[in-house]
Amino acid sequence: MQKSRERGISALRLLVMHLTAVVLLTSTVPVTPSRAQASGYVRVKLLKAGLVLGAGGGSGIVTYRGRDYPFRVSGLSLGFAAGVSVIRLTGWASGIRQIGDFAGTYSSVGGGGAFVGGMGGVQLTNGQGVRIALRGPRAGVELAGNIGQITISLKE
């Protein structure tokens, strides 16, 4: 009778351990890609002109979660700027929860120069917490060190 009781207790312990494991495994909620922040690869081409006040516009593509999303860029800058340049920049956008977070108004601090060719870079941040870091070569004649705002709108 004692052995029968011990087998029953062992079986009960085993059942409790299995049930505990099932409860623990099913109660943890993994972060799904739709809720997590992700980064996107950004390519943009801009035409920029200015003398103290600069203006520019262009287009680009952000690759986010395996899909390409075309977008438009427009903006103004105020500071030390003189010249005209074509800028092709690439980089990364981080802090994107959904693609709609990428669109919006960004503040920027950037600088660079070009005489036929040169390097430029910019750091951008918007109200949704998306941060974009871009770098790339410029072609044209420009010298700039400015603070500005740009607007990114996704193309439909």
The arithmetic mean of pLDDT across residues 43-47, rounded, is: 84
- 121 or 16: which leads in pLDDT: 121
Rounded to an integer, what distance in angstroms lies between the CA atom of residue 98 and that of residue 95?
Answer: 9
Nearest to 57 by CA among 76, 38, 70, 43: 76
pLDDT at 10: 61
Strand partners, 81: 144
pTM of the model: 0.64
Element housing 118 (H / E): strand 118-126
Q: Is 42 exposed, middle or buried (0-12, 13-18, 19+ CB in 10 A)?
A: buried
The arithmetic mean of pLDDT across residues 110-128, rounded, is: 63
Query: How do residues 58-83 score in pLDDT, each as one tens digit?
Result: 899 999 999 999 999 988 665 555 66
Query: How do residues 23-38 score in pLDDT, each as one tens digit?
Result: 444 444 444 444 567 8
Residue 143 has pLDDT above 60, yes or no: no
Q: What is the CA radius of gyration of the chain?
A: 27
